[in-house]
Every structure is written in C-alpha cells, then in structure tokens.
Structure 1
Amino acid sequence: MDRGGRTRPARLTLSLPISCKGPRPMTANPPLSLTRRGLIAAGAVTLAAPFVLRRRAVAAEPLRLSWNAGAVCFSAVPLAFQLDLFKKHGLEVELVNFTGSTDQLLEAIATGKADAGVGMALRWLKPLEQGFDVKISAGLHGGCMRLFGAKAAGVKTVLDLPGKVIGVSDMASPSKNFFSVVLTKFGLDPNKDVEWRQFPADLLGLAVEKGEIHAIADGDPLVWRHTKDPRMVEITNNVCGEFATRTCCLVGVRGSLLRDNRPAARALTAALIEAQHAAYADLRAAAAAYAPFAPKFPVEELEAMLRSHAHNVTPVGDELRHQLALYTDELKSVSVIKRSTDSQRFAGRITVDLA
C-alpha cells in the first residue's frame, strides 16, 4: 500500500535478492583470443596481426585519452601504461585527467579536447541521445555503484525506502539513475516514494549521522568506506542479479577520429580491453597501478573494491548494443530518456564495431 492508501501492485521484477552485497565470485581468467572476431565473439582482446604486431604507429600524433582519476573502477587505464599496452598496439597515448562530471568528459571528446575517453553508461546515454559526435566502441567492466541504508532509520532493504531520503553527490549521477531504476523494479516510484538530496560525496556519511538522509547512493572508492561502518548496511549494488554481467562503464571514441583514422580508434579500443583483461587476471597489480591516484586507500583495500566489481565484463558488438538498449529502456522508465526513443535503433546509432 502506498502513502496515499492505495494498494500497490507487486512488481518485483529485479532478479536479485532484496539484500545483495559482498564480493562477486571470480571465475576463471578469460581467454585472450588470437582471432579478428575474438573481440566480438568472446569479449576478449583483439590481437590481430595488422595492428598489434606492427612496430610503426597507427596515429601520427599522440592520442588524448580522458578519464576520471577519482574512479577506482578505471584502474585498467594506468595498468595499460605500466604494461606498455598502447605502444604494443602502435599508439602513443596522452592521459588527460578530467575532473568534471562524466557527461562533461563526453562533451570534451565530442568537441575535440580529447580523442577518446572512458566513462559511465548511465551518465553518457542522455547526452548521446541529444546527438554528441561520439561512438561507443566497448564496455569495460561492471560494478562500482552501491546503495547503503542507515540501520538506525530502519533501512535494510529496498522495500524500507518509501518515505526516506537518499543522499547522492550529484542529482544527475549514474548512481541516482541506476538506483532509481532499481526502485522501479521493486514497484516503487523514485520521484514520489523517496526524496533525493545532494551532498558532497565526502559528507554523505555526516549527513546520515545528522539524520538528514537515511540512505546513500554513490560510487567507489568514496562510498566503499561505508562497508566498514556497522551503522550502515549495503542494500544492493550494480553487480547483483540481472546486472551481474551488465557493463557500467564504456569506451567512447570521437566521431572525427573514426572517420579520419579508424585503425587508431580500433587499436585504442583493443588496448583498453586487453588492459581490462589484464586487470581481471591480476587485481593486485591493477590496484597497485591505481594506488597513486587514491593515496588515502591502501592497495589491499583498492584490491578488495576491484574484487567486488565485474572486471571480466567487456561487451562489444551485438552484446554491447543489447546492454545499452536495456539501459535505455530502463532510463525511459525513470524519465531520463524520452519515452518515444526507439531503444534498439538508438543503441545501434551510438555504437561502432571495431573488429
């Protein structure tokens, strides 16, 4: 029954337990395909001879790759530099730390301030709907967003949230978008049944202590600290249930780079996917590569964060389009994407195959 006294239909369509937390079991290391189609068929890195085995560069000038150094889930990016994977693929790459929101990062790619970048699907889909000249070439991993409830406020499951206040660091954040989707899958209205309130990420815990919010939705590494707070419970995250094999972060390539130097875009995508699989194979090495960007966290803690993600999820081709179409449908359900948008056509328009 809702707050107006009306009976609410049961719509628990999300195939995850009400409380879903903790590290995902790690499966066997993914194979590294040696075929041109391996990138599509198996989600593995392409090691095709025309690019990987060339000594000469496939781009005359260094490519500028944008990322957000505050996101531990992108640990494969610094690992790629440590392993010289860009050079292996015939590229010189300049890493640009973009401290703004990831939709601004997408705009930087579209306007030529960067050649490519890595960012979050649930931040990028809306501006891509509006026509940014950027194509998605691959997914990089799943996981990194978490929803915590305050035990003192009686918030231990998704169904405890009606009438409560959820704190976020950004009212257009991927975390707000994702957990709004989760609420709808439990038959709740994210715009009416809960209130969303914005605080700086490092003050969300204090807002809980003051009783100003009753739950926190945010991303690693900052939200990770609440896993150790006995006053909080991790309600769910974005590697639970049907989202366990869904990518949350993407590779975006500038449209003009694809038109002017498709081989460079292909090599960059392959290098990033190879780095992602290297990270999955050795999470400690990935954590150590990222550690200089998160000096407040020991390597062991960064590794634990990475272990709770899904770093073996690197969809491309049809699987990438399928996952982005699912996200588009879900974002339509929470009024982020226009309901008139054809999800399948949209996913096809914003992606590119680089096999």
Structure 2
Amino acid sequence: MTIPAGRSGGVSRRKLLKVSAAAGAAGSLGIAGSRLFAPAIAGPAPKVRLAWTEVAACHSPLGFGLAKGFYAKHNVDVELFYQGASGQTLIQALATNKADVGAGLVLDWLKPLEQGFDVKLFVGSHGGCQRLLASPASGITDLAGLKGKRIAIYDPGSPPKIAFAVTLAKAGFDPEQDFTWQVFPFDLLGEAVARGDADAAAHLDPWAYSIQKQHNLVQLADTQTGVYEGRVCCVLGANGPFLAANKDAVQRVAAANLEIHEYTANHPDEVAQWYADTLKPGISKEDLTANLSTLVFHNHPVGKELVKHIKHSVEDLKLTKVIDPGTDPEEFANRITLDIFA
C-alpha cells in the first residue's frame, strides 16, 4: 500500500524527537502488571531505531510513548524513523539498516517473512484499524448484499483489500470473481462511494472512520469483529542481526510497548490530544479520540499467544492464495516469532 508523502502532517521526525527528548521518565504513569518485563536500570540506555507510520492513528501511541517518557522509563533510547506508510517501505527500512525495529500490519509482514526476510515478530500492539463500508444509497446492509458490486480500494495489494478478501472468502464468496475491486486515489475513496462510482470502500483508520462519519456509510465489517474477533492486526518485528546482538534492548522496547498500548486503551483522549497537537493530521481531536476509542489497544499478545495470532493470519493468507499452499502455518508462525520475555 502507499499513502501519499503529503499525508505526513508536516511535522518532521527531528522536531518530534526534539519534543520527545525534553520529556522525563514517566514514573507516575501507574501502569503495572505481571506480564511486563522489568529490567534493572543500569548503565547507558541502548539505542533502538523504531520505524513507524506517523500519519496512522493506530501508530500514535508510539510517538506519544516517546514524548511522555515510556521508553525512558524502561531505559531504552528510542529514535522514531518515519518509514513511509507501507508494508514495502517498512521492510526496506529494516533491510537497509535505517531502522532496527518496526511496527506494521500482520498481513504486511507475512509474505516477506515467508520469502526469507530476516525479522522476528515479538509483540502485538492492537486490533481493528480497517473498515469495509457501503453507501447508504446502495441498499447494501451485509456481506451478501455486496456480491456483484464494486469495492473501492487504494491499491490492489493494500492491507484492507487483503483483510476483507479474507472476510469475504470465509463468508463463502470468491473474493476475486464475486466482486469488482476498483482502484481510486487514497484520499478519494469516500468521495468515490458518495458519488456512486463504487458501492463500498475498504480503507484504513483514521481515514475510514472519517469517511464513514462524513458520508454516513454503513459498516459491513472491520478487523476487530467477525472473523477477526480477538485478533491482533499490528505487531512489532525486529531485524534479525540487531536482535541477536541486542536482545535486552528489544525486550525493553517490548515492555514499553505493552505499557504504552495499555495506557492508550485507558486514556485515548490523552493520546488523541498529543496526536492532534503534534502531528496536525487534519482530523479533530474529538474524532481522533472517538477513533482511538474503537481500537482494541488491550490486545497486545506476546510469546505463545502471539504465535497463535500469527498462525491464524497465515491460514487466512493461504485461503486467499497469498501464502504458498505448502506452507505449514504452525511451523511458520513458530519460526518467525520470538518469545521475547523467555
């Protein structure tokens, strides 16, 4: 998938890091739990370059966490690298040593990993940041009503297209034969549906949330209910050589990630305020709060639980013929994940 460079909100990574560096350790955040890794704070903080998508609402906890001292609390020196907002550019950032760790959609990670890309997935972030939306004028109210209709997408390989191809396949349809997938510019999916150029749209938040509200679209599916109930959609992966040499640093990132996302689940308004003030996304703080409130930030699996999530996603991509039919989902899921706290 590709999001135009102009969607970056006009805030440079350098400015964000300057703001973040001024923040103290978040000792008063009060987030604790038996699942959290608690490293001894001794010696200089290890440096980790974390690739993220600053324009995506679901990635906002990463920037918020840096600005508010969550990573400093775990004695890890995180630098955010804006990797360009696509699965392809995320892989490139890690492969070309521009980042050590990256946050991305599960469905973006799996094919490169099947092809031998040296990354280990080690912690989940959240569930549910994609929506399948229909025009009220179309009369479509469920997946069955969508058969034979036109679905607007921004890229044939985009995560929303792949995710909802899985949803439709599991509902008994042939995703490629029973529907017409039409490509429109990223910013115009809502308008395409509103004008009647398409009957439905598959999009990412916060844009999916915005066009749903703006055009009063009917939600047919998302990636946190139905076939995706209880499933994680975004996970962090670490470059293999970096992980081998810096497992302690990656453990610290994982521990901070768990804490950051749990905090976001309980305080979406704070994260939305930071996002609105810092990244200027062109979406109101109120809409950002509402959008973040709908995402499942409590869902951040590690260890064996993460393996289960990845296994299900591999099975999904085999169903839609993205993953090789001979790939064993359980073996593959175990091979590409790491129990970071073991």
TM-score when normalising by structure 1: 0.84
Partner of 2:131 in structure 1?
Answer: 146
One-letter code aligned to 1:279: T
Q: Is the 8 A contact 1:79 1:279 kept in 2?
A: no
Please state if 1:354 is matched with 2:323.
no
Partner of 1:281 in structure 2?
Answer: 266
Change (3 A) 1:110 1:269: farther
The equivalent position to 1:54 in structure 2, one of 36, 41, 55, is 41
Q: Is the 8 A contact 1:110 1:134 kept in 2?
A: no
Q: Is the 8 A contact 2:232 2:300 kept in 1?
A: yes
- Structure 1's unaligned 5+ residue stretches are 1-29, 39-44
Q: Deviation of residue 252 (structure 1)? A: 0.9
The equivalent position to 2:207 in structure 1, one of 222, 227, 237, is 222
Per-residue CA shift, 1:72-98, capped at 9, x if unaligned?
A: 011210121132111111111111112
Please state if 1:341 is matched with 2:331.
no
Q: Deviation of residue 231 (structure 1)? A: 4.8
- Structure 2's unaligned 5+ residue stretches are 1-29
Q: Distance in 2 between matches of 1:90 and 1:340?
A: 43
Change (3 A) 1:268 1:315: same
Q: Distance in 1 between matches of 2:216 and 2:224?
A: 23
Please state if 1:108 is matched with 2:69.
no
The equivalent position to 2:316 in structure 1, one of 323, 326, 330, is 330
The equivalent position to 2:251 in structure 1, one of 266, 277, 285, is 266
Q: Distance in 2 between matches of 1:302 and 1:144?
A: 13
User: Is the deviation greater in 120-129 or in 230-239?
Assistant: 230-239
Partner of 1:299 in structure 2?
Answer: 285
Q: Distance in 1 between matches of 2:192 and 2:264?
A: 35
Q: Is the 8 A contact 1:180 1:334 kept in 2?
A: yes
Classify the secondary structure of the residue corresponding to 1:75.
helix
Aligned counterparts, 1:69-218, within 5 A: 69-218=54-203
Aligned counterparts, 1:28-47, within 5 A: 32-34=32-34, 38=35, 45-46=36-37
**Structure (1 or 2) with the greater helix fraction:** 2
Partner of 1:316 in structure 2?
Answer: 302
Number of equivalent positions? 311
Classify the secondary structure of the residue corresponding to 1:126.
helix
Q: Is the 8 A contact 2:190 2:215 kept in 1?
A: no
One-letter code aligned to 1:298: S
Q: Is the 8 A contact 2:127 2:223 kept in 1?
A: yes
CA-atom RMSD in angstroms? 1.7
Q: Distance in 1 between matches of 2:215 and 2:80?
A: 38
